[in-house]
Amino acid sequence: MPGTDTRPGPESRPAPSTRADRTPEVAAVVVTYNSAGHVGDLLDSLPAAFGDVTYRTVVVDNGSTDETVRLLRERSDCLVVESTNDGFGAGMNRAVRHAPPAGTVLVLNPDAVLDPEAVPRMLQVLRRPGVGIVAPRTREADGQLSPTLRRTPTVARVGGLSFTRIPWFAERIDDPRAYTAERAVDWACGAIWLLSRECFDALGGFDESYFLYSEETDFALRARDAGWITMYTPQAGGMHVGGGSGTSSATHTMQMLNRVRLVRRRNGTAAAWAYFAMTLLVELRRGVLGHRASWPTLRALVRPSLRPAVLGANDALLPR
């Protein structure tokens, strides 16, 4: 999970670059939180993933309590910025601020690994007119396709009915055939994203109020509103373990609350109330079926005082 540069001087160390005499083409940015078991594999994969593309890597650590920072500081291939935990979006924005002024930003989760030549292949797509975000084909740790493509959240899609493959009800795109060719999408999971810096700056970066979850949904949809395309390409690949920063009932609660907030901010109060009501029913069903995290989430949905304070959503039943 994500953080403020409380000590920007001694807490950051510049990473060497093979071509330090000029601005790199890509700034690779990572936010870590108790990611000691994964981030090394990610960083090890980058040289082959970039090929001949020049880059610099910035890692913002959001207050890890494990060995993440020590492991990072033993490396010479990244700039390390220590921070308090003020969210994933805030951490990403901080990483970009610390990065050199490259024209492209590679957003990475610490539990991702890139395939060789992934970045040059994504760059080819990003350079097309109007493209602001590129997402590659991603697989799970077992090698199976990870269904990362999504449609815009709506009330009809709140129920988790992606298995129907009916677009009206399915936010997640599960059909493997959808992953065989390049296509424009509403949004894609942000474990591996290549961004136009122009797009990033035009949107003002990630919305930090989400803290964790929905920030990439919000970014991609705002990018679309501004005329930028999110493009999926199967020509570049990577693996995403998932859960590399840990999962809990608190993070599940943040995920559900932020989805309601996103709908409210984009579609208004009436749509948000409908989405909120459907979320209650969905979480009740999940709880009955044995999903333990759904019970504390249900309690937090109906009792704002129980919601994670970092969201700033404790003052009203319908989260803002």
Domain ranges for the chain: 26-240, 249-311
pLDDT at 20: 44
pLDDT at 243: 54
Please state whether the predicted TM-score (pTM) of the whole model is above 0.85.
Answer: yes
pLDDT at 248: 80
pLDDT at 24: 96
Pairwise CA distance, residues 159 & 24, whole Å: 44
Which pair of structure tokens corresponds to residue 163? Answer: 């298995």
Per-10-residue mean pLDDT of the chain, 320 residues long, equals: 39 43 90 97 98 98 97 97 96 97 97 98 98 98 96 91 83 95 98 98 98 97 98 98 68 96 97 97 94 95 96 95
pLDDT at 159: 83
Pairwise CA distance, residues 214 & 234, whole Å: 24
Burial class (CB in 10 A: 0-12, 13-18, 19+), 295: middle
**H/E element holding 287?**
helix 269-288
Pairwise CA distance, residues 3 & 67, whole Å: 17
Pairwise CA distance, residues 211 & 60, whole Å: 15
**H/E element holding 236?**
strand 229-240
pLDDT at 104: 98
Q: What is the dotted CATH code of the domain comprising 26-240?
A: 3.90.550.10
pLDDT at 247: 60
| Cβ contacts of 20 within 8 Å, gap of 6 or more | none
Burial class (CB in 10 A: 0-12, 13-18, 19+), 22: exposed
Pairwise CA distance, residues 166 & 224, whole Å: 23
